[in-house]
Chains A and B, each alone.
Chain A
Amino acid sequence: DVHLVQSGGGPVNPGGSLRLSCAASGFTFGSYSMNWVRQAPGKGLECVSSISSIGSYVYYADSVKGRFTISRDNAKNSLYLQMTSLRAEDTAVYYCVRDETVTSWGIFDYWGQGTLVTVSS
């Protein structure tokens, strides 16, 4: 079974930094693109960052460009999101999401449990 177990997150002051981690199991991690998708409280979904299977291609939403960095360690089956210069509007549940990849990029077939990031003073 595919499992994506997230860690990190929590409260942080505006302007602060936080690192999210996602441990993958049950599939060949290095063969799949991965994503971070967030959901502000009571709101819809936004894909904030994506990374290709070997990390050669990355994508950032305009809302986080220059502040967030996505990375992966295929030897450790892990995905990361380094978040800096955090703002109140970054408050959201962040999901680690596997990209189905085989058919197309952008099909989000497995989701982690989500972790809440709260940016507030």
Chain B
Amino acid sequence: EIVLTQSPDTLSVSPGERATLSCRASQRVRSNSLAWYQQRPGQAPRLLIFGTSNRGTGIPDRFSGSGSGTDFTLTISRLEPGDFAVYYCQQYGSTPWTFGPGTKVEIK
């Protein structure tokens, strides 16, 4: 099973600034099959990024993903109020599909 580690646990950022979130896998993620989800309090997760760098339907270009192999990054430029949430990475290259523990982005 591929274990995903996310850092930092919590990221304090001011509105309008950039946030950079990291996801590291315990082994290579096949075909860079890595997704990112946003979960606001009391809501279901929402797909942001799949295939490492492809944005989901309706996701603004402020969200971008990069990386390969075992190291992946989600970048949120110009943070808006609705972006303060928990972000999860997930690998779907190997079963069982697994999620990281999440990074909370909070208002500084």
Contacts and interface: CB of A to CB of B under 8 A. Distances in A.
Interface stretch (B19-27, B49-57, B66-74, B75-83): B49-57
A45 B46 contact: no
A107 B32 CA distance: 12
Interface in A33-90: 44-47, 59, 61-62
Contacts, number: 57
Contact of A111 (B44, B50, B95): B44
A114 B44 CA distance: 7
A45 B45 contact: yes
Tell me if A's interface is mostly helix, strand, loop or mixed: loop
B47 A107 contact: yes
A106 B45 CA distance: 14
A61 to B, nearest CB: 6
A54 to B, nearest CB: 19
Which interface class (under 10, 10 to 19, 20 to 34, 35 or more) fits A? 20 to 34
Contact of A47 (B31, B47, B96): B96
A59 B50 CA distance: 21
A95 interface: yes
B45 A111 contact: yes
A106 B47 contact: no
Contacts of A105: 92
B33 A104 contact: yes
A44 B47 CA distance: 15
Contact of A100 (B31, B46, B50): B50
Contact of A95 (B44, B56, B96, B102): B44
6 contacts: A44-B101, A45-B37, A95-B44, A107-B92, A108-B37, A111-B45
Interface of B: 31, 33, 35, 37, 44-47, 50-51, 56-57, 88, 90, 92-93, 95-97, 99-102
